[in-house]
Amino acid sequence: MRPSVPLPPTSAVRTEARAVQVAGLAVVVSFVAALIAFAGRRPALSGDHSVGDVAGLVGGAVAVIVLPLAYRHTFDHPQHHWLVERPAWRRYLGVLALAVVHGAIAFMAAWAGFRIFQQAFGALTFDPFAGAIETAVVGGLSAYATYQSGARMNSYLLSNLLATYLAAGVLTSMVTTKNPNWWEINFSALGAANSGVAWTFNVTLVTGGIVITMLAEYVTRDIQALAAFRADRLASLGVQENGFVRRRGRAFGGTDVRIRPVFVCLVLMGLLLAGTGLVPVDVYMPGHNVLATSMSGAFVVLVVGLPWWLPGVSRTFQFTGFVMLGGAVLAVVLWYPLGYYNMTAMEMFVAGIVLGWLVLLIRNLAAAVEDARRSALSELLGS
* pLDDT score for 250: 40
Residue 1 DSSP SS3: coil
* pLDDT score for 179: 85
Contact at 8 Å (CB) between 210 and 97?
Answer: yes
- Cα 58 from chain centre: 21
* 252: phi then psi, degrees, rounded to nearest 5: -135, 150
Structure pTM? 0.84
Residue 80 DSSP SS3: helix
Contact at 8 Å (CB) between 54 and 117?
Answer: no
Q: Where in the chain does DSSP place strands (E)? A: 240-241, 244-245
* 46: phi then psi, degrees, rounded to nearest 5: -140, 160
The domain segmentation of the chain, as residue ranges, is 12-153, 208-381
Condensed to tens digits (0 to 9), the pLDDT of residues 208-227 reads 999 999 999 888 888 887 77
The amino acid at 97: A
Condensed to tens digits (0 to 9), the pLDDT of residues 3-42 reads 444 455 557 788 899 999 999 999 999 999 999 999 999 9
Question: What mean pLDDT, rounded, does the chain reach?
Answer: 85
* 257: phi then psi, degrees, rounded to nearest 5: -90, 135
Condensed to tens digits (0 to 9), the pLDDT of residues 157-169 reads 898 899 999 998 9
Residue 290 DSSP SS3: helix
Res. 286: pLDDT tops 80: yes
Percentage of the residues of the chain whose pLDDT score is greater than 70 = 86
The amino acid at 116: I
Res. 69: pLDDT tops 70: yes
Residue 284 DSSP SS3: coil
Q: Report the alpha-carbon angle 174-212-264, nearest 5.
A: 135
